[in-house]
Amino acid sequence: MDWSKKVVLVTGGTGSFGKKLVRILLDEYNPAKIIVFSRDELKQHEMRVAGYNAPNLRYFIGDVRDLDRLRRAFEGVNIVIHAAALKQVPACEYNPMEAIKTNILGSSNVIDAALDTGVERVVALSTDKAVNPVNLYGATKLAAEKLFVQSNAYAGGRTTRFACVRYGNVVGSRGSVVPVFLRQRESGTVTVTDERMSRFWISLEQGVRFVIRCAEQMHGGEVFVPKIPSMTILDLAKTIAPEASVNVIGIRPGEKLHEVLISEDEARTTVELEDMFVVQPAEALWFGRDWENQGKLIEGDFRYASNTNTEWLDVNQIQEIITPIEAAYKQGKL
C-alpha cells in the first residue's frame, strides 16, 4: 500500500496509541493527510505543543457517539484506525451506560460513517479482555468486535472493509500498572492482587507497527492476534521494585487470573502464521477466509492463554522494557 496517497483518520488520536501511531506515520510513511479525531481540545493542544504539528496533520474535535460529526470527519478518508474507547475497568463498571455508549454505540457509528462515506479500510483495536469477558469493558469490546466483523456483510458492492486487532496489555500506556509500581516503590511496598497472575505484554511501538501491518494486509472480517510474550505480575513488581515488600491484596471484581487471546471455540477458524494468528470470520459469507492459503489451520484443542504461553519474559527482558518507561516517569511524563 502506498501510504503517501492515503488520508488516515485516528479516532482517540490523542491517547497513548494514537500519538505513537501519528509519530510513526509522520516519520516513516508520510500519508497525504493524518486526521486526529478526539473530543478533548486540551489534549489536542498539548499534542501540537509537543511537536505534532506537521503540514499534513489535522486536528478534528468530535466524539464517536456523534454519527453526524463522524460522517463529516470521514469525508475523503481512506483508512480509519479506531482507537477511541473507555478502557479503565473500574470506570466502566461504575459507569456502565457510558462504556456502552462509547465502546459499542460509538463503534456502530464508526461503521455507519465509514460505509456512508466510502472509507476503504477500518481497523478497530480490541483487547484480550474481549475473550470470555468477565467485566463490562471486556463485554463492550467483544460486542464491538462482533460489530466490525459482521459489518463486512453490509459492505455489499462498496469497497469498505472492516477488521480487528486484538492484543494484550501495552507496557507503559495510560492506565498501565507500571507507573503504579513506580510510584509505590517510593513507599517501600507494592501491591499485587494475586502472585499467580499472568498477562500478555506488548510494547506501544510493537502494537502500533502491528496495526499498520494489519491495515495493509487485511481482506475484511479478520481478527489479527500477534504472538507476544507473557510475564507474571509478581516478576514485574520485583523487577521494578526489588527492594520493596509485596502486599497481596486479593483479586478484584472483574479481574482474571490469566488472560486469553484466542479461545478454544475461535481456534476452529484460526490460521497460524510465523508471528501472528488470524481468526477468520466464522461464516464464509463474504471474504477474509483465504488466510489458510498463507498459513496453517489450527488443529485440535487450542487456547492461546497467558499462563500456557510458550514465550515468557525473563527479568532481564522485563528490565529492558521498563528502563525507558522509568526514565519517562522520572521526567514527569507519566
Catalytic residue IDs: 129
Beta bridge partners of 282: none
- The sign of the CA dihedral 216, 222, 223, 229 is negative
- The sign of the CA dihedral 196, 185, 190, 132 is negative
Residue 160 and residue 240: Cα distance in Å, rounded?
45
The identity of residue 291, as a single letter, is W
Nearest to 223 by CA among 299, 139, 126: 126
Written as one string, the DSSP assignment of 62-119 is: --TT-HHHHHHHHTT-SEEEE------HHHHHHSHHHHIIIIIIHHHHHHHHHHHHT-
- The sign of the CA dihedral 94, 96, 101, 103 is positive
Q: Cell numbers 479478520 label which residue?
A: 222
- Residue 314 belongs to what H/E stretch? none
Residue 90 and residue 198: Cα distance in Å, rounded?
19
